[in-house]
Chain A
Amino acid sequence: MSTRRRFIQSLASASMLLPGMMHEMLAETAAPAQPVDPLAPKAPMFPAKAKRVIFLYMSGGVSHVDTFDPKPLLTRDHGKEYNGELLHASKYKFSRYAKCDTEVSELFPNVGAMMDDICVIRSMKCDIPNHSQAVMQIHGGSAVEARPSIGSWVSYGLGTYDKELPSYMVLAPEVPYGGATCWDSSFLPACHQGIRVVPGQEAIPNMTRKASLEVQDLDLGLIEFFNRRNLAEHDADKTLAARIKTFETAYGMQKEAPDVFDITKESDATLAMYGITRDTKKGFGWQCLMARRLAERGVRFVELIDTGSDKYTNWDAHLDIKMHATSAKKVDKAIAGLLQDLKSRGMLEDTLVVWTTEFGRAPGDSAPNEAGRTHQSSVYSSWLAGAGIKGGITYGESDDYGYKVAKNECDIHDFQATILNQLGMDHKKLTYRHAGRDYRLTDVSGRVIRDILA
Chain B
Amino acid sequence: MYVRQPHREVRTQPEISARHRARAAVSILAVSLAATSPLAIAQSVKPSTAESFQQNVKPIIDRNCAGCHVLGGHSGQLRLDSLADVMKGGEDGAIVVFGKPEKSLLTKTIHYEDPDMQMPPKGKLSAADIATIDNWIAESAEPLPGELKGNPVPSVVAPAPATVAPVASASAPTASAKATPVALNATSPLMTAEQEQFFETKVRPVLVNNCFSCHASAAKAGLRLDSREGVLAGGKSGDIVVPGHPEQSTLSTAVHYSDPRLQMPPRKALKPDEVAAIDRWIADGLLWPMGSSTPAVKTVSAAQRDFWAFKPPLAPAVPDVKSAWAKNDIDRFVLAKLDEKHLKPVADADKHTLIRRATYDLTGLPPTPAEVNAFIADRSPLAYEHLIDRLLASKAYGERWGRIWLDVVRYADTSGGGGDYPIAQASKYRDYVIQSFNEDKPYDRFIKEQIAGDLLPSNSEPEHWSNIVATGYLANASRYDGAYLNDAVDNIGYAFMGMTVACARCHDHKFDPVPTSDYYAIYGILQSTSFPDPGDDVSRRQIGFVYRDPKSADRQDIKDFNAQLKPIAGAINAVFALPGTYDDILPQLEARRMNLYAHAPEFPENAYAVTEGQPRQAQIQLHGDPTNLGEEVPRGFLQVLGGGPLPADTKGSGRLQLADWIASKDNPLTARVLVNRLWQGHFGRGIVPTPNNFGTRGVAPSNQALLDYLATEFIAKGWSIKTIQREILLSHAYRLSTADSAANEEIDPDNALIWRHSRVRLDAEEIRDSMLADAKLLDLSPAKPHPFPPQSKWNWEEQNPFAPDVTQYENDHRTVYMMVQRSVKHPYLTLFDGADPNASTEQRTSSLTPLQALYFMNASFPRRCSDNLAKQWTDAKVADPKMIEEAFMTIYGRPAQKVELDRSEEFLKRATALYISRSDAPDVAHKKAVSNFVQAMFSTNEFMFIE
State whether the Cβ of B77 lies closer than 8 Å to any Cβ in chain A. Answer: no
| B-contact 0/1 string along A268-286, CB 8 Å cutoff | 0000000000000000000
Interface residues on B, range: 35 or more
Chain B: minimal CB distance from A237 (Å): 6
State whether the Cβ of A94 lies closer than 8 Å to any Cβ in chain B. Answer: no
Given contacts A190-B845, A319-B3, A436-B690, contact A204 B854 (CB under 8 A): yes
Write out the residue numbers on chain A whose beta carbons fall within 8 Å of the beta carbon of B698: 436
Cβ contact within 8 Å between A205 and B19? no
Write out the residue numbers on chain B whose beta carbons fall within 8 Å of the beta carbon of A131: 9, 798-799
Which of B23, B831, B907 sits near A366, CB closer than 8 Å? B23
State whether the Cβ of A214 lies closer than 8 Å to any Cβ in chain B. Answer: yes
Given contacts A226-B936, A366-B23, A375-B17, contact A435 B692 (CB under 8 A): yes
Q: Which single residue of chain A is at the shortest CB-CB distance from B760?
A: A239
Write out the residue numbers on chain A whose beta carbons fall within 8 Å of the beta carbon of B859: 205-206
State whether the Cβ of A26 lies closer than 8 Å to any Cβ in chain B. Answer: no
CA distance A235 to B511 in the complex (A): 42
Which of B7, B14, B823 sits near A316, CB closer than 8 Å? B7
State whether the Cβ of A7 lies closer than 8 Å to any Cβ in chain B. Answer: no
State whether the Cβ of A212 lies closer than 8 Å to any Cβ in chain B. Answer: yes
Which candidate, A102-110, A248-256, A415-423, is the interface stretch facing chain B? A248-256
Which of B825, B858, B942 sits near A230, CB closer than 8 Å? B942
Write out the residue numbers on chain B whose beta carbons fall within 8 Å of the beta carbon of A252: 850
State whether the Cβ of B784 lies closer than 8 Å to any Cβ in chain A. Answer: no
Write out the residue numbers on chain A whose beta carbons fall within 8 Å of the beta carbon of B916: none
State whether the Cβ of B54 lies closer than 8 Å to any Cβ in chain A. Answer: no
Write out the residue numbers on chain B whose beta carbons fall within 8 Å of the beta carbon of A216: 857
Cβ contact within 8 Å between B18 and A253? no
Which of B803, B851, B900, B915 sits near A226, CB closer than 8 Å? B900
Write out the residue numbers on chain A whose beta carbons fall within 8 Å of the beta carbon of B904: 222
Cβ contact within 8 Å between B857 and A206? yes
State whether the Cβ of A260 lies closer than 8 Å to any Cβ in chain B. Answer: no
Cβ contact within 8 Å between B759 and A237? yes
Q: Which of B1-18 contact A (CB under 8 A)?
A: 1, 3, 5-7, 9-10, 14-15, 17-18
Q: Which of B15, B579, B847 has the most CB of A within 10 A?
A: B847
Cβ contact within 8 Å between A374 and B17? yes
Which of A186, A206, A212 sits near B851, CB closer than 8 Å? A206
Which of A16, A175, A234, A316 sits near B740, CB closer than 8 Å? A234
Chain B: minimal CB distance from A325 (Å): 18
Q: Which single residue of chain B is at the shortest CB-CB distance from A196?
A: B827
CA distance A189 to B14 in the complex (A): 30
CA distance A218 to B942 in the complex (A): 19
Cβ contact within 8 Å between B18 and A374? yes
Q: Which of A75-101 contact B (CB under 8 A)?
A: 84-85
State whether the Cβ of B135 lies closer than 8 Å to any Cβ in chain A. Answer: no
Cβ contact within 8 Å between B851 and A250? yes
Write out the residue numbers on chain B whose beta carbons fall within 8 Å of the beta carbon of A247: 850, 853, 857, 939
Chain B: minimal CB distance from A374 (Å): 5
Which of B26, B116, B854, B899 sits near A205, CB closer than 8 Å? B854
State whether the Cβ of B833 lies closer than 8 Å to any Cβ in chain A. Answer: yes
Write out the residue numbers on chain B whose beta carbons fall within 8 Å of the beta carbon of A310: 799-800
Cβ contact within 8 Å between A253 and B26? no
Which of B15, B690, B824 sits near A128, CB closer than 8 Å? B15
Cβ contact within 8 Å between A218 and B907? yes
Cβ contact within 8 Å between A227 and B850? no
Which candidate, A27-35, A117-125, A176-184, is the interface stretch facing chain B? A176-184
CA distance A186 to B830 in the complex (A): 11
State whether the Cβ of A240 lies closer than 8 Å to any Cβ in chain B. Answer: yes
Which of A205, A239, A362 sits near B827, CB closer than 8 Å? A205
Given contacts A226-B942, A362-B19, contact A246 B853 (CB under 8 A): yes
Write out the residue numbers on chain A whose beta carbons fall within 8 Å of the beta carbon of B854: 204-207, 250, 253-254
Cβ contact within 8 Å between B798 and A146? no
Write out the residue numbers on chain B whose beta carbons fall within 8 Å of the beta carbon of A143: 14
Interface residues on A, range: 35 or more
Which of A208, A219, A249, A436 sits near B500, CB closer than 8 Å? A436
Write out the residue numbers on chain A whose beta carbons fall within 8 Å of the beta carbon of B429: none
Chain B: minimal CB distance from A401 (Å): 15
State whether the Cβ of A225 lies closer than 8 Å to any Cβ in chain B. Answer: yes
State whether the Cβ of A229 lies closer than 8 Å to any Cβ in chain B. Answer: yes
Cβ contact within 8 Å between B9 and A223? no
CA distance A309 to B799 in the complex (A): 5
Cβ contact within 8 Å between B941 and A206? no
A-B interface contact total, Cβ < 8 Å? 214
CA distance A243 to B855 in the complex (A): 13
Cβ contact within 8 Å between A436 and B849? no
State whether the Cβ of A211 lies closer than 8 Å to any Cβ in chain B. Answer: yes
CA distance A252 to B932 in the complex (A): 20
CA distance A436 to B688 in the complex (A): 12
Write out the residue numbers on chain B whose beta carbons fall within 8 Å of the beta carbon of A211: 932
CA distance A230 to B801 in the complex (A): 46
Q: Which single residue of chain B is at the shortest CB-CB distance from A437?
A: B697
State whether the Cβ of A318 lies closer than 8 Å to any Cβ in chain B. Answer: yes
| B-contact 0/1 string along A166-195, CB 8 Å cutoff | 100000000101011100101101110101
State whether the Cβ of B945 lies closer than 8 Å to any Cβ in chain A. Answer: yes
Q: Which of B223-281 contact A (CB under 8 A)?
A: none
| A-contact 0/1 string along B445-487, CB 8 Å cutoff | 0000000000000000000000000000000000000000000
State whether the Cβ of B22 lies closer than 8 Å to any Cβ in chain A. Answer: yes
| A-contact 0/1 string along B807-849, CB 8 Å cutoff | 0000000000000000111010011010010110000011111
Chain B: minimal CB distance from A421 (Å): 27
Cβ contact within 8 Å between B759 and A254? no
Cβ contact within 8 Å between A367 and B579? yes
Cβ contact within 8 Å between B6 and A214? no
Chain B: minimal CB distance from A348 (Å): 30
Write out the residue numbers on chain B whose beta carbons fall within 8 Å of the beta carbon of A45: none
State whether the Cβ of A48 lies closer than 8 Å to any Cβ in chain B. Answer: no
Chain B: minimal CB distance from A316 (Å): 7
CA distance A143 to B847 in the complex (A): 27
Given contacts A179-B824, A237-B759, A366-B26, contact A231 B851 (CB under 8 A): no
| A-contact 0/1 string along B679-699, CB 8 Å cutoff | 000000000001011010110
| A-contact 0/1 string along B144-167, CB 8 Å cutoff | 000000000000000000000000
Cβ contact within 8 Å between A207 and B858? yes
| B-contact 0/1 string along A310-321, CB 8 Å cutoff | 110000101100
Which of A177, A254, A372 sits near B857, CB closer than 8 Å? A254
Sorted nearest first, the 8 A-B pairs with minimum C-beta distance are: A250-B853, A249-B850, A436-B697, A190-B847, A250-B850, A206-B854, A206-B858, A236-B740
Q: Which residues of B contact A (CB under 8 A)?
A: 1, 3, 5-7, 9-10, 14-15, 17-19, 22-23, 26-27, 116, 418, 500, 503, 511, 579-580, 690, 692-693, 695, 697-698, 738, 740, 742, 745, 759, 761, 798-801, 803, 823-825, 827, 830-831, 833, 836, 838-839, 845-855, 857-859, 863, 899-900, 903-904, 906-907, 910-911, 914-915, 918, 932-933, 935-937, 939-942, 944-945
Q: Can you pick out 16 interface pairs between chain A and chain B where the beta carbons lie within 8 Å of each other? A: A16-B906, A130-B14, A132-B798, A143-B14, A146-B839, A190-B849, A215-B911, A222-B903, A222-B907, A225-B903, A247-B857, A250-B857, A309-B799, A311-B7, A374-B17, A375-B18
Given contacts A181-B823, A206-B855, 19 further A-B contacts (CB under 8 A): A128-B14, A131-B799, A132-B418, A132-B798, A187-B839, A189-B845, A210-B858, A219-B939, A222-B903, A225-B903, A242-B848, A254-B854, A309-B801, A311-B799, A318-B3, A319-B3, A366-B26, A366-B579, A436-B697
